[in-house]
Structure 1
Amino acid sequence: MSVDAALAPFHIPSETAPLRQVVVHTPGEEMTLVTPQSAEDLLFDDILFVEEARDEHATLIRLFQAAVGSDDAVVQLTTLLRQAFLEDGARESYVDRLIERVPSRNFEAYESELKSLEADDLLRFAVTGQAPFSVTAWPHPNLLFTRDLSAVVGDHVLLSHAATLARAPESVIVQTIYDYHPQFAGARDRVIELPPDVSFEGGDLLVVNESLVLIGQSERTSLGGVLAVARALLDRTSVEHVIMVNLPEERYCMHLDTVFTFADDDTCVVFPPIIEDARDHVFLIEAIDEQDLRFRPFPTLKDAMEDVTGRQFTFVPCGGSDPVRQRREQWTDGANLFAIRPGLVVGYARNHVTYDALRDHGFHVVDAESFLDFYGDTAAASTDRIAVRLSGNELSRGRGGPRCMTMPLVRG
């Protein structure tokens, strides 16, 4: 699980800098505990065929390992949490924070029993809600979407503050990892905690470059969350400009990355109705001094990005030019691509019109297995412009694409 000491443990200069290490969570027992009756409370629209979802996720992991050229490229969230639980005080801290973060779940009634659990048993409880004693707790199938747990910007990391009760315990999980896992021991002063009265999830933050980030005000990230993130980044990092995008507070566009992601440094896949057709919902935020922020409106996100960077950006429409296809493919995460390096992206194969649009913009389109077979051990050295199609028929039913399922720690 080691990476170059010059970069570890946090280093994200942009959305497309070559991937070095990423945290994922392969769906497991917690996903088998989702029922048709509990799915809505757990933020799922359907129940997944878990075995098939695991196979699809395994292919995604193999793709990362081949493209990065290292077995250390991919780290499981549960591995990090278990290792953190082995450290002195970690399990007690996790339980204390859980009680504080979700008081409505009444975990204080089980405090002594939870604190007495060994690492493996507490790990199972944290992920599935199951314990060796009777306890009322939910499983956490949304751990599949590790992106939302935190966001690395430069050499700092922002902790999430989940907007929903179903995901609130996940914020405790990731805070425990950063506070106690040995890998992050030298970087704890670079962990940014937000005020308790705001919400923020990592799917709403994209790093354009070392001085510019995008943040969505969305169903999951409040205006207070945007302002708290902007203030922290402007004060503590190399970020000089924050572009805020106001999104409809609707399920179909719960995060900015469900309607906008990068394919390379200057090419983005977008959902046109929100990113191009909507007007006057974008604001540039900059610091005036240590207390005050300045807001400057822009007609569109493209206008704001080009003004700040002095560069031109190409927007590729998710679902192509047909409004019906745009809405269908955005619903199945056609705009939620993950860039492994500039010009190498992965998304769901079912969004074939989006892939046609990428092909029109110079991308070679291949299936994941074909990519692995053709490039093999040379994948890490490839500089071809490639859009990889991942079979995600089950994963896509969870309402999250490859970017949602990845929390990069190190790029560059």
Structure 2
Amino acid sequence: MPVETTVAPFQIPSETAPLRQVVVHTPGDEMALVSPENAEDLLFDDILFVDEARGEHATLVRLFQAAVGRDDAVLQVTDLLRETFGEDGARAAFVDGLVERMPYRNFEAYEGELKGLDADALLHFAVTGQAPFPVTALPTPNLMFTRDLSAVVGEHVLLSHAATAARAPESVIMGTIYAHHPRFADARDRVIELPEDVSFEGGDLLVVDEKVVLVGQSERTSLGGVLAVARELLARTAVEHVVMVNLPKARYCMHLDTVFTFADADTCVVFPPIIEDAHDHTFILEAIDGDPDDLRLRPCRTLRDALEEVTGRAYTFVPCGGSDPVRQRREQWTDGANLFAIRPGLVVGYDRNRATYDALRAEGFHVVDAESFLDYYGDTAATSDARIAVRLSGNELSRGRGGPRCMTMPLSREAG
């Protein structure tokens, strides 16, 4: 039976439009399977205390539910996948996706057994890599970074194509959900799949407004991925300008949103060494004679220059870590620039990045911890125009090298 929903399946007009629905994943059994022996292969620098991380994540979820004020404001990936596996053909399609995407895992040797698992057993396998037979698979602890699974632009969604083997199963998980979950039945023709020979992850795409997107060419998104995204968006959506930022190919800035995010339409939190001090790494992608298949890259001196040119607006850049270069680097490493906007001027980040919050305070933001926000603002914050920066305790979550934006994949925000 189709799922009743009162929000558009896909609707993201900007980074900061009021949130209506978001997909998250609270760390679970898969995170407890990260060990010193496999941490590097699983892209982790440290081992999280899972119970503490779950508590921190639960507070993040409470923030969204309180501010949005909807019972279905927050969707869990595992709930969506469990419901998907109840649909005819979905479990077989998921196994087929694993076989095709990861031939090196030799899943075809257990294809029949995997397809014979019931919904709960296949969900357990998808998340933990564990099955009642000796198939070789890894857990998916990076699933908590739902941002990278896909990116919604306007009324379309781009499926990510993970750059690393550790995250390849997540691409299959999200692709299966979009293809088979009843919630997305009326939007299947708005799911955009990219060519197999490119990489793209959702943390590298920011929606400035209905006509402008930013895309990072990063450690995780290839130049081919940027060009493929630009071609699809220019051809199929209302997007008219794609701005590419060429980032250092390094773990500390693996995605564009680790060095640049929006607090409201015209206020951005930035990592100055890359966004302001470095020049000549930004390009506007233009369709020659209106043909999105024929693109040229026009260089701009800075990202600020490109943004102001394509939007006609001025921007305020708030430095992650404040004015001290050492604090900038320390707080960028703990995701000081990775804020998530619940609505214009209401953002959440990690409590530990105090110099970043001081810089936001200087721009007129009221800084408050998460519990105080829930006690004193609650569901009134979504309709208020107060500028509020919420400090989320994230001492364990931050060990995973991802902030609140990394852990959130918005499906729908209010239209302008």
Q: TM-score range by the shorter chain?
A: over 0.9
2:369 alignment counterpart: 367
Contact 1:204 1:217 in 2 (8 A): yes
3-state secondary structure, aligned to 2:216 = strand
Q: Report the counterpart of residue 292 of structure 1 in structure 2.
A: 294
C-alpha contact (below 8 Å) 2:99/2:108 kept by paired residues: yes
Amino acid aligned to 1:390: L
Deviations 1:306-338 (A, max 9, x none): 011110000000000100000000000000000
Give the equivalent residue in structure 2 for 1:389: 391
**Distance in 1 of aligned mates of 2:136 and 2:18:** 43
Match of 2:98, as an amino acid?
A: L
User: What amino acid is aligned across from residue 385 of structure 1 in structure 2?
Assistant: R
Query: How much does 1:295 deviate?
Result: 2.0
Equivalence for 2:281: 281
C-alpha separation in 1, matches of 2:152 and 2:406: 14
Is residue 145–residue 406 contact of structure 1 (8 Å, CA) maintained in 2? Answer: yes
Q: Determine the C-alpha separation between the residues in 1 that align with 2:39 and 2:411.
A: 30
Aligned length: 410
Aligned amino acid, residue 352 of structure 1: R
1:314 to 313, 316, 323: 316
Mapped to 2, the partners of 1:335 and 1:189 lie a distance apart of 34
Determine the structure 2 residue equivalent to 1:109.
109
Q: Secondary structure at the match of 2:35?
A: coil
Q: Tell whether the 8 Å contact from 1:365 to 1:387 is kept in structure 2 after alignment.
A: yes
SS in 1 for 2:249: coil
Report the counterpart of residue 379 of structure 1 in structure 2. 381
1:304 aligns with: 306
Distance 1:84 1:15 in 2: 28
Summarize deviations over 1:181-204 as a string: whole Å, max 9, x none: 000000000000000000000000
* Counterpart position of 2:41: 41
Match of 1:53 in 2: 53
The one-letter code sitting in structure 2 at the alignment partner of 1:201 is E
- Cα distance in 1 for residues equivalent to 2:4 and 2:223: 37
Distance in 2 between residues matched to 1:8 and 1:377, nearest whole Å? 21
SS of 1:166's equivalent in the other structure is helix
Unpaired stretches in structure 1, ≥5 consecutive residues: none
Alignment TM-score, normalising by the size of structure 1: 0.98
Shift of 1:91: 0.5
Unmatched 5+ stretches in structure 2: none
Query: Could you list the per-position Cα deviations for residues 201-252 of structure 1 after superposition, in whole angstroms to 9, with x for gaps in the alignment?
Result: 0000000000000000000000000000000000000000000000000000
Instruction: Output the aligned Cα RMSD.
Output: 0.9
Question: 373-382 vs 242-251, which deviates more?
Answer: 373-382
Report the Cα distance in structure 1 between the residues aligned to 2:365 and 2:286, rounded to whole angstroms: 35
Structure 2 residue matching 1:380: 3-state secondary structure: coil
- Does the residue aligned with 1:208 lie in a helix, a strand or coil? strand
CA separation of 1:355 and 1:2: change in aligned 2, threshold 3 A: farther
Partner of 1:124 in structure 2?
Answer: 124
**CA distance in structure 2 between the aligned counterparts of 1:48 and 1:19, rounded to whole angstroms:** 29
Post-superposition Cα deviations, 1:145-204, rounded to whole Å, max 9, x if no partner, equal: 000000000000000000000001110000000000000000000000000000000000
Q: CA deviation at 1:133?
A: 1.9
Q: Deviation of residue 3 (structure 1)?
A: 4.4
Find the aligned partners of 1:101 and 1:155 in 2 and give their Cα distance: 27
The corresponding residue for 1:8 is: 8
Tell me the amino acid that sits aligned with residue 325 of structure 1: R
Query: For 1:344-363, what aligned pairs fall within 5 Å after superposition?
Result: 344-363=346-365
Contact 2:5 2:183 in 1 (8 A): no
Paired residue type of 1:227: L
CA apart distance, 1:105: 0.7
Task: Tell me, yes or no, if the aligned pair for 1:3 and 1:20 is still in contact at 8 Å.
Answer: no
Q: What TM-score, normalized to structure 2?
A: 0.97
Q: What is the alpha-carbon distance in structure 2 between the residues aligned to residue 166 and residue 118 of structure 1?
A: 24
- Report the alpha carbon displacement of residue 378 of structure 1 after superposing the two structures with TM: 2.5
Structure 1 stretches (4+) deviating beyond 6 angstroms? none
Partner Cα distance (1:67, 1:294) in 2: 42
CA contact (8 A) 2:200 2:220 kept: yes
Deviation (angstroms), 1:37 = 1.0
Residue aligned with 1:381, SS: coil
Amino acid at match of 1:174: M
1:28 partner amino acid: G
Aligned equivalent of 1:338: 340
Map of 1:405 onto structure 2 = 407
Q: Secondary structure at the match of 1:72?
A: coil
Corresponding residue number in structure 2 for 1:267: 267
- Aligned partner of 1:63 in structure 2 is 63
AA matched with 1:102: M
Tell me the equivalent position of 2:23.
Answer: 23
State the percentage of identical aligned residues. 80
Structure 1 residue 136 displacement after superposition = 1.5
Match of residue 156 from structure 2 = 156
- Which region of structure 1 is more displaced relative to structure 2, 232-241 or 378-387? 378-387
